[in-house]
């Protein structure tokens, strides 16, 4: 998978966020452990506005299939509490490559962001904290990220996030972490409920 070339790993005061699976990091859970944790995270309230394939995950086998699909389609990050190592959420990053690099070994990307946070941790500032951590990671050092490909740098030019217009809490998270409105779409998308809701897009730009 091409997305695995990026070395996604960063920390915040209360959180540790890293790519999964990551054989070099022995502190991340294995498939069986993460599948069990996934069942606790993918509750109806968390997945309410998500596609059908993200809903009704009721057993370990379904959770494993869901995890495998996420790893295959994007860079999949696990969000853990620093002190307890409890998994409290996921970050999903899709990389859009651009042809603006000055050197053949460099790549310029836009990151398309999605995330989930377990219900029990809502209202404690974790969503803002992990997105602020992602933004800081994308900007440093010198707005470039070392790739797992030798002598290759990834330059993140912006991060884009889509959200339902009725999801005021998620919009507040984006605005509070430096994102601004860039596009509003009224086209129907494949969601579980609220099919008439508009999808709005916010972005944060690091370089032109």
Quote the tokens at residue 92.
Answer: 């999903």
Res 4 pLDDT > 80: no
Q: What is the pLDDT of residue 208?
A: 54
What backbone phi and psi angles, to 5 degrees, belong to 184?
-125, 130
This prediction has a pTM of 0.85
The CATH homologous superfamily for domain 2-205 is Gcn5-related N-acetyltransferase (GNAT) (3.40.630.30)
Res 188 pLDDT > 60: no
What backbone phi and psi angles, to 5 degrees, belong to 143?
55, 35
pLDDT confidence bin for 86, thresholds 50/70/90: very high
pLDDT tens digit string along 141-162? 544 455 544 445 678 899 999 9
| Domain boundary assignment for the chain | 2-205
Task: Give the separation between CA 123 and CA 164, rounded to whole angstroms.
Answer: 19
Q: Are 101 and 107 in contact (CB under 8 A)?
A: yes
Res 3 pLDDT > 90: no
pLDDT tens digit string along 103-136? 555 678 899 999 999 999 999 999 999 999 999 9
Q: Are 167 and 49 in contact (CB under 8 A)?
A: yes
């Amino acid at each position: 998978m091409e997305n695995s070339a990026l070395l996604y790993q960063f920390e915040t005061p209360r959180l540790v966020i890293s790519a999964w699976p990551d054989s070099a990091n022995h502190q991340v859970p294995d498939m069986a452990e993460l599948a069990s944790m996934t069942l606790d995270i993918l509750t109806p309230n968390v997945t309410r506005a998500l596609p059908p394939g993200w809903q009704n995950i009721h057993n370990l086998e379904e959770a494993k299939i869901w995890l495998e699909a996420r790893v295959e389609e994007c860079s999949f990050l696990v969000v853990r509490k620093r002190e307890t190592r409890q998994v409290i959420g996921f970050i999903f990053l899709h990389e859009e490559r651009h042809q603006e690099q000055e050197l053949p070994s460099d790549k310029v990307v836009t990151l398309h962001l999605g995330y989930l946070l377990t219900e029990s941790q809502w209202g404690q500032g974790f969503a803002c904290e992990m997105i602020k951590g992602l933004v800081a990671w994308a900007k440093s050092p010198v707005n470039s990220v070392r790739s797992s490909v030798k002598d290759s740098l990834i330059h993140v030019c912006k991060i884009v996030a889509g959200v339902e217009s009725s999801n005021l809490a998620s919009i507040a998270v984006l605005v509070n972490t430096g994102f601004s409105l860039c596009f509003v779409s009224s086209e129907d998308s494949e969601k579980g409920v609220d099919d008439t809701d508009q999808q709005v897009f916010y972005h944060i730009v690091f370089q032109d």
